[in-house]
């Protein structure tokens, strides 16, 4: 009897294992998504980078753009009954810009945004086909307020997600080849306060922001050098006399000789700019690092996602791409009143 019971138990265990294996393929995708959500949830939210007074100011200016005069006739037409709208994601990409979306409807007044439990800032959503959509959130409030904030909220979310999506692709390329440098954006952003959204999107996607404005780091480009009579040393010394020890100085260089001059003058970072041959840039970076291993090397100028991998090597610390904030595709979202 004892032997029979053991055999029955073994049969049950085998059946259970087979059942688990048959479901493993179906559950693997869900497990990966859950792991991604858990990892993102353990990171301090990037939204804490956004000072509330600054956020409120820029959101208010955007809403003012849409209603610059005294009357919102569309709002008058729909009235102020409480309605519910649902936010849908309709194309692949990285979800980014949740703090801006929330702030828009907070500024509209009496609106409450409720995100789905599965939705986390920075979460990648892929595999959508034509006509597919995924519900992300509901927004409840007076219908006139919902419609007043709709386009501003969607524009911000779609563009921030676009920057984050292309940044994630580039960051993943770096990880795939085990390159330990940083992929970065540039100052080639939308003028005005929308720069904040694009710089935030870079961070969500896994890229570095580079400098946020002219005061954050001194970058001496070719025009600066020519304005100092072509002297890299004079430009660096003059910059250091003004910014002191607390600010880094970067010099844009077109050759190894210029990079060596900049480092000798005291530059903290040298940018090897507009090299048409990645092999030549890597060769110059190697020779430079042999003399100045403590000075950072940035590669920039005309680099795209397709050529990014060709510039990665142990002698390059940063690769910056203007296309991260200039050539991105927006992620498609829609907000629909439930009826």
pLDDT single digits (tens) 292-323 = 999 999 999 999 999 999 999 999 999 999 99
Share of the chain above pLDDT 70, in %: 87
Q: Could you give phi then psi for residue 137, rounded to 5 degrees? A: -160, 165
Residues 242 and 313 occupy one common structural domain: yes
Pairing of strands 249-253, 218-220: parallel
For residue 249, being part of any structural domain is answered with yes
Residue 303 located in a structural domain: yes
Q: What is the pLDDT of residues 172-190, one digit of tens each?
A: 999 999 999 999 999 999 9
State yes or no: pLDDT of 24 exceeds 90: no
The DSSP code for 208 is B
**In the block, which residue shows the tokens 């049950």?**
12
Q: Which residues contact 329 (CB under 8 A, 6 or more apart)?
A: 162, 165, 166
Indicate whether 189 belongs to any domain.
no
Residues 221 and 292 placed together within one structural domain of the fold: yes
Q: How many CB atoms lie within 10 A of CB 136?
A: 21
* Cβ(148)–Cβ(66) below 8 Å: yes
pLDDT for 67: 82
Distance from C-alpha of 167 to C-alpha of 109, rounded to nearest angstrom: 33
CATH number, residue 297: 3.20.20.70
Examine the domain organization and report whether 55 and 159 are in the same domain.
yes
d(CA 301, CA 322): 8
Residue 18 within a domain:
no
Task: For residues 167 and 236, state if they share a domain.
Answer: no
Q: What is the pTM of this model?
A: 0.85
Indicate if 144 and 247 belong to the same structural domain. Answer: no
Kindly state whether residues 149 and 227 are assigned to the same domain: no
44 in Cβ contact with 176 (< 8 Å): no
Residue 28 belongs to some domain of the structure: no
On whether residue 182 sits in a domain, the answer given is no
pLDDT on residue 3: 43
Within 8 A by CB and 6+ apart from 253, the residues are 259, 262, 270, 271, 272, 273
pLDDT at 103 over 50: yes
- Which residues are tagged catalytic? 188
What mean pLDDT is predicted for residues 80-100? Answer: 98
> Which long-range contacts does 173-177 make (Cβ < 8 Å, 24+ apart)?
173/305, 173/308, 173/309, 174/308, 174/312, 177/309, 177/312
Residue 22: pLDDT over 50: no
The pLDDT confidence band at residue 7, using thresholds 50, 70 and 90, is very low
Residue 260 lies in a domain: yes
| Predicted confidence band of residue 66 (pLDDT cuts 50, 70, 90) | confident
Region at 331 (left for phi over 0; alpha for psi -120 to 50; beta for the rest): beta
CATH (domain of 116) = 3.90.1170.20
Note whether 158 and 85 are same-domain residues. yes
pLDDT (mean) for 9-20: 51
Q: Which tokens belong to 126?
A: 């892929």
Q: What per-residue confidence (pLDDT) applies to 34?
A: 65
Do residues 168 and 231 both lie within one domain? Answer: no
Q: What is the pLDDT of residues 151-166, one digit of tens each?
A: 999 999 999 999 999 9
Residue 6 has pLDDT above 50, yes or no: no
pLDDT of residue 116: 97
pLDDT single digits (tens) 316-331: 999 999 999 998 999 9
Q: How many structural domains is the chain composed of?
A: 2
What's the pLDDT band for 41 if we cut at 50, 70, 90?
Answer: low
> For residue range 192-244, what is the model confidence (pLDDT) as tens digits?
999 999 999 999 999 999 999 998 999 999 999 999 999 999 999 999 999 99
| Strands (E) located in the chain | 82-89, 93-94, 112-115, 124-125, 134-142, 182-184, 218-220, 249-253, 269-273, 296-300, 318-320, 333-337
In a domain, 20, yes or no: no
**Same domain assignment for residues 231 and 120:** no
Q: Report the C-alpha gap between 63 and 74 in whole angstroms.
A: 14
Of all helices (H) and strands (E), which one includes residue 288? helix 278-291
Measure the CA–CA gap between 90 and 125, rounded to whole angstroms.
Answer: 10
**Across all residues in the chain, what is the average pLDDT?**
90
Instruction: Supply the range of the domain harboring residue 64.
Output: 46-173+329-337
Q: Are residues 168 and 221 in the same domain?
A: no
CB 163 within 8 A of CB 96: yes
281/333 same-domain check: no
**Is 92 found in the same domain as 152?**
yes
């Amino acid at each position: 009897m004892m032997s029979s019971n053991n055999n029955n138990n073994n049969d049950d265990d085998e059946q259970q294992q087979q059942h688990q294996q048959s479901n493993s393929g179906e559950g693997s995708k869900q497990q990966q998504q859950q792991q991604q959500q858990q990892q993102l949830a353990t990171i301090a939210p990037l939204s804490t980078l956004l000072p509330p007074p600054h956020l409120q100011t820029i959101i208010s200016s955007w809403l003012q753009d849409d209603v610059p005069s005294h009357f919102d006739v569309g709002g008058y037409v729909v009235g102020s009954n409480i309605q519910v709208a649902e936010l849908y994601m309709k194309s692949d990409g990285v979800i980014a810009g949740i703090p801006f979306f929330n702030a828009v409807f907070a500024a509209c007044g009496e609106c409450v945004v409720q995100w789905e439990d599965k939705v986390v800032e920075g979460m990648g959503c892929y595999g959508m086909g034509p006509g597919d959509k995924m519900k992300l959130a509901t927004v409840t409030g007076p219908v006139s307020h919902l419609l007043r904030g709709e386009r501003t909220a969607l524009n911000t979310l779609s563009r921030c997600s676009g920057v984050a999506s292309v940044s994630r692709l580039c960051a993943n390329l770096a990880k795939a080849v085990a390159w330990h440098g940083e992929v970065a954006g540039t100052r080639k952003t939308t003028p005005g306060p929308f720069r904040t959204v694009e710089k935030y999107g870079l961070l969500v996607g896994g890229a570095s922001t580079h400098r946020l404005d002219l005061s954050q780091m001194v970058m001496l480009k070719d025009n600066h050098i020519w304005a100092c009579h072509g002297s890299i040393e004079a430009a660096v010394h003059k910059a250091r006399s003004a910014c002191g020890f607390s600010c880094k100085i970067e010099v844009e260089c077109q050759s190894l000789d210029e990079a060596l001059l900049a480092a000798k003058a005291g530059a903290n970072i040298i940018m090897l700019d507009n090299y048409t041959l990645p092999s030549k840039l890597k060769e110059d970076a190697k020779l430079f690092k042999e003399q100045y291993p403590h000075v950072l090397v940035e590669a920039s100028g005309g680099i795209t996602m397709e050529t990014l991998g060709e510039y990665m090597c142990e002698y390059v610390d940063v690769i910056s791409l203007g296309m991260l904030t200039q050539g991105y595709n927006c992620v498609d979202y829609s907000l629909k009143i439930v009826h």
